[in-house]
Structure 1
């Protein structure tokens, strides 16, 4: 029983740290402020809420469809672990540069979105919050949940992370004033370092799963 609790707790922490660092709410808070500066405070709160909800639904859908996509294209979990690890490492390396990007979309897309009523859906919900990295992570983590209770742990993790993201985004002005851009860069560097460590572990796990049977067979 204790071993089961420890295993689920470890997986819960892995889900939290992976998703939180990939979504990087500290880094996207200034982007949201820039994109919603013409809106009222209440509108910005509503946009943050709707965007977080859309991101939550997106990650849940992709986590459910993960196994279907793997089977359809004949992709092994090990291959996806290695690819995901490389993608996460690259994202972490960029975060170490601590450059608070102004947007993840083109200027044209941003202008068109700001003139419409669905800015909370795109680009805020997708791809600002639920970007390629977070979507890949939800699929990869889902592949490590053979039991229903493990998948429930993943869902709770996604819900908790997106709740934290929402609170950070709605308090963007306060956080920006308190930390300043220098403080936000420091936090972003730390999250980048954590993400790179997680990425290396994903790659190691994927490689070991492939190599161990080969080594065992050759030693017989």
Structure 2
């Protein structure tokens, strides 16, 4: 097994990304963002979000550092931008704008892509962690461990969102609305923390 897969690196990748991307914690946010969708629309949104998140993680793993260097953009700037975007989403959740069915057909794909796929799932933390693991990988066994860890975390994310519909049926519309407000508050706190961490890092580098 160790000749094909670096077990220690696999465990490290899986645990790190699982904690950062937090599959159980995505359930209330997913319900908040898709509460007005039908069951089929929610399944489609979950699938699109996972594909987007996986694509972003893999893309940054392969080309992230080169892209940031080319654009002269620091990881902290990426983190601050993600924090600002999440803060805007949190305000919409808190004010109830996400609850409206108006224009749903035209926006459900956008919700799956942004903010669900990125930066909620594939956020700055997950991107940076993956880029660090890539820098630490040199052997074939390292790459196998990294790839398998990333795939399994995304499988956990998909399962958490796949069964969020059952939770929605239990909570009903009123319960989902309450979850939406709570999720908005938590998301706002996460966004502020991202911004604060980025600003502190900038300040230390000056």
User: TM-score scaled to structure 2, two decimals?
Assistant: 0.62
Structure 2 distance, partners of 1:88, 1:24, is 16
Aligned residue in 1 for 2:22: 16
Whether the aligned pair in 2 keeps the contact of 1:98 and 1:189 (CA below 8 Å) is yes
Aligned residue in 1 for 2:66: 71
Aligned residue in 2 for 1:59: 53
Aligned residue in 2 for 1:130: 117
Q: Where does the alignment leave 5 or more consecutive residues of structure 1 unmatched?
A: 37-43, 215-220
> Which secondary structure does the structure 2 equivalent of 1:74 belong to?
helix
Whether the aligned pair in 2 keeps the contact of 1:85 and 1:203 (CA below 8 Å) is no
Indicate which of 30, 36, 40 corresponds to 1:25: 30
Structure 1 distance, partners of 2:63, 2:176, is 44
In the TM superposition, residue 101 of structure 1 has moved relative to its aligned partner by: 2.5
> Which secondary structure does the structure 2 equivalent of 1:143 belong to?
helix
Q: Where does the alignment leave 5 or more consecutive residues of structure 2 unmatched?
A: 1-7, 138-142
> Which secondary structure does the structure 2 equivalent of 1:98 belong to?
helix
> Which secondary structure does the structure 2 equivalent of 1:186 belong to?
helix
Aligned residue pairs total 185
Match runs of 1:30-45 below 5 Å: 30-32=35-37, 36=38, 44=39
1:179 to 2:167 alignment:
no
Aligned residue in 1 for 2:4: none
Aligned residue in 1 for 2:5: none
